[in-house]
Amino acid sequence: MGRLIIDGGEKISGEICVQGAKNAVLPILAATVMADGVCVIKNCPALRDVDKTDLVLERLGCTVKREGNVVTVDTRGMYDCRICEDLMREMRSSIIFLGAIISRCKKAVVSMPGGCPIGLRPIDLHLKALRELGVDIQEEHGYIKCTAEKLQGGNIHLDFPSVGATENIMLTAVCAEGTTTISNAAREPEIVDLGNFLNSMGARVYGMGGSVITVHGVEKLHGAEYTIMPDRIVAATYLAASAITGGEICLKNVNPQDMGAMLHVLGEMGVKLRCEADRIMQTAPKRLKSVHTIRTMPYPGFPTDIQSPFMSLAAMARGTSVFIENIFENRFQHVDELTRMGADIKVEGRSAVVRGVKELQGANVVARELRGGASLVVAALAANGTTTISGVELIERGYENIEKHLLNCGAKIRRE
């Protein structure tokens, strides 16, 4: 396991060009299997999860080529419709292939995704919706076997606006007969990106970004060229990294309009922000102010994925902040590690009360999951002395060159 070693106390100031969004690139790469042609996907971040997705595509018989941040997928040779257990276990988001493979092959076999450190992450909403579109689903020996003689559009209501379920339904409905409506759909910007990509392949998907999405089935899709949207969670993590150190930062290749809830909280904590179409300039005060309450919610609410990096901000802010985690049941694993660094945080169920302390201390800490790991990096940048973060591989699932970007902005950071 790799480790990041950070000597805290340096201001994070400078310019960072933000990577493409992990949560957009994964479903979009899965969707390429529906093209029966060649897709050229630009602005693909070099991440472990993206490599794993490429591997899934290759195991299905597709040809995948990466040149820099451009991934070309040729799906004409695709011969398999199964995803085996090892890949499903390594990356839960492989479940998104289900809708894409059924769409193309009218059958799919994937292993049941296992548990996950941040919570149970069931897929009941995915399966219920696919059944409503005419898919026969058998759950046997840890595998999900799907067949569909004919995919038939329908009206689907989601009990919860699940991101993954909305994506799987869109993928399945694109080539179904007739029209599908998804009500209470997830509204995340990554859903809009997927819809735009599908439309660039010849699909007819409307209403993405709102809570009702309409999909008019088409016969087939063609290859396309597409540029992945910027990663709003990575952008907010770098804003947090600079804010906690009192730095001044400019982010390039961002969509500030996708980041409303996060920018609002940063403003409340006392940073000054200036946004342009694809840039954010931020100047932070010496010490941040606490924020009254942060509740994680589906988009456009405050994202669960940035809860932990922002908790590091609250840990050193003046005053007390309350965090309520409404999306995943086990997303406070960073708290024990932040406490080792001197943070004063009390967790009760889904709530955490964070009393800001003046200083955090460097310590040996462990990244237990992706965003929790990022929160430790943010805290370490401002802590007194040296912090060693083990489990870097988990952080690298979502952050491309995190160490290099922070180094360029003045951090004392190295990887071992």
Size of the site for ligand UD1 (CB under 6 A): 22
Question: How far is residue 125's CA from residue 286's CA, in Å, rounded to a whole number?
Answer: 46
Q: Which CB, 23 or 111, lies closer to ligand UD1?
A: 23
Q: Which residue of the set 39, 116, 146, 250 is catalytic?
A: 116
Q: How far is the CB of 384 from ligand UD1 (least distance, A)?
A: 32
Please indicate whether residue 17 is annotated as part of the active site: no
Helix H, strand E, coil C: the string for 344-407 is: EEEEECCEEEEECCCCCECCEEECCCHHHHHHHHHHHHHCECEEEEECHHHHCCCCCCHHHHHH
Q: Exactly one of 102, 108, 125, 263 binds ligand UD1 (CB under 6 A); which one?
A: 125
The reply to whether 121 sits near ligand UD1 by the rule CB under 6 A is yes
Residue of 247, 241, 172, 183 lying closest to 210 (CA atoms)? 183
Structure tokens at 49: 């999860």
Q: Residues 310-339: x/- map of binding to ligand UD1 (CB under 6 A)?
A: -----------------xx-----------
The reply to whether 122 sits near ligand UD1 by the rule CB under 6 A is yes
Write the CB contacts of 300 (distance below 8 Å, at least 6 apart in sequence).
187, 260, 261
Q: Residues 46-85: x/- map of binding to ligand UD1 (CB under 6 A)?
A: ----------------------------------------
Q: Exactly one of 15, 139, 160, 274 binds ligand UD1 (CB under 6 A); which one?
A: 160
Interacting stretch for ligand UD1, rule CB under 6 A, among 102-110, 115-123, 262-270, 350-358?
115-123
Q: How far is the CB of 372 from ligand UD1 (least distance, A)?
A: 12
Q: Exactly one of 162, 172, 196, 308 binds ligand UD1 (CB under 6 A); which one?
A: 162
Residue of 178, 180, 226 lying closest to 200 (CA atoms)? 226
The reply to whether 120 sits near ligand UD1 by the rule CB under 6 A is yes
Are 252 and 278 in contact, with CB atoms under 8 Å apart? yes
The 8-class DSSP code of residue 139 comes to: E
Q: Which CB, 160 or 293, lies closer to ligand UD1?
A: 160
Q: Exactly one of 32, 43, 75, 93 binds ligand UD1 (CB under 6 A); which one?
A: 93
Region of 105 on the Ramachandran plot (φ > 0 left; ψ -120 to 50 alpha; else beta)? alpha
**Helices 189-200 and 22-31 meet at what angle, rounded to 10?**
30
Phi, psi of 386 (to 5 degrees): -100, 135
Instruction: Give the residue numbers marked as catalytic.
Output: 116
- Contact residues: ligand UD1, CB under 6 A: 23, 26, 93, 119-126, 160, 162-165, 186, 303-305, 327-328
